[in-house]
Amino acid sequence: MGCIHTKCCCRYPKSLVGESQDFHQGVPYCLQDNSTVIERALELIPVASHNYHLDYLVLAQRGYYPESPDKENQDSFCIRTNVQGNPNAHFFGVFDGHGQFGMQCSNFVKDRLIEKLCNDPTLLDDPVQAYNSAFLSTNDELHSSEIDDSMSGTTAITVLVVGDTLYVANVGDSRAAIAVKEGNCVLAKDLSNDQTPFRKDEYERVKLCGARVLSVDQVEGLVDPDIQCWGDEESQGGDPPRLWVQNGLYPGTAFTRSIGDSTAEQIGVNAVPEVLVLQLNPNHLFFVVASDGVFEFLSSQTVVDMASSYADPQDACTAIAAESYKLWMEHENRTDDITIIIIHIKGLSNV
């Protein structure tokens, strides 16, 4: 969920929660071929230190906006192998821009963030600290750039693979999830937590910074503003809590962290990433990095189920994007930009 002029819908339709689905059925909505980018690894990416390989495919689909048919895709992505010349370090990131200059913000961050990581001599010794430094300095540079980020910015969900360890840094409400084999099941485990006012810790943090937290209905006087409870994000996403300055009707962000958004920064929105560290094992099959154009209506488990049901990652990405596209059209008669990267883990053993 982005700024006040973007998504306002209910996540995870009941038909997709807790039910077995046949994802190979035809979908009534087609992707717009002229606005779709598909990129796949030309060869397996070796992680020689632990004797396994990575194989990735990325699909980026511009959103469908009937009133703005030429609107640019505000998502961007970055894939960098052999970070700092190290054959055991690889980077994957998705950046979901929002606001009038969202495309410029996401592209700026896509380029600057990896540049800072590559130039940080401490990266491989202390990835968590390097991530923090890179996110904050990229945010500062965006503020001082020629891009007007007063009401524009971007989320960032990134995964740095170092040997057999994932370092997942997140700012905003895009998401990463990993598929874990448990017996005969493949379960989804989130590698990031959406940073929104639905989270009690994030709600309390921005309130201390001076934010008013209200849904649109509360702002318009249709619901009592003193009721500071909005249920959970998965079932009550139709009118989510948003952040407002004390005496104004802006910025209306439905996230609590981002890069850019200098106005929202005054009421607690910041670019400090949450970093998760995960050591891989043979039960980890693949991981997914995607914008909330995918996760707005699809749960992590549904995305993993769909990805698991296709032998070809391109078919999996296309099916996930098509299902997301269909659900957006059913609920809003438009779609968000959709970007998804699926990275398969091949040949990892305990030895």
The greatest distance separating any two alpha carbons of the chain, rounded to the nearest whole angstrom, comes to: 62
Contacts of residue 54, defined as CB under 8 A and 6 or more positions apart, other chains included, come to 41, 44, 45, 47, 90, 161, 343, 344, 345, 346
* Predicted TM-score of the model (pTM): 0.90
Task: Delineate the domains of the chain, giving CATH numbers in brackets.
Answer: 36-195+270-346 (3.60.40.10), 196-254 (no CATH)
Task: Annotate 169-235 with DSSP letters as a single string.
Answer: EEESS-EEEEEEEETTEEEEEESS---STTSHHHHHHHHHTT-EEE-HHHHTTSS-TT------TTT
> pLDDT tens digits for 189-234?
999 999 999 999 999 999 999 999 999 999 898 988 888 887 776 6
pLDDT tens per residue across span 26-73: 433 445 456 788 888 778 999 999 999 999 999 999 999 998 888 899
Banded model confidence at residue 20, pLDDT cuts 50, 70, 90:
very low
pLDDT band for position 1 (cuts 50, 70, 90):
low
Per residue in 163-188, pLDDT tens? 999 999 999 999 999 999 999 999 99
Sequence-distant (6+) residues with CB within 8 A of 27 are 319, 322, 323, 325, 326
- Span 259-317, pLDDT tens digits: 999 999 999 999 999 999 999 999 999 999 999 999 999 999 999 999 999 988 899 99
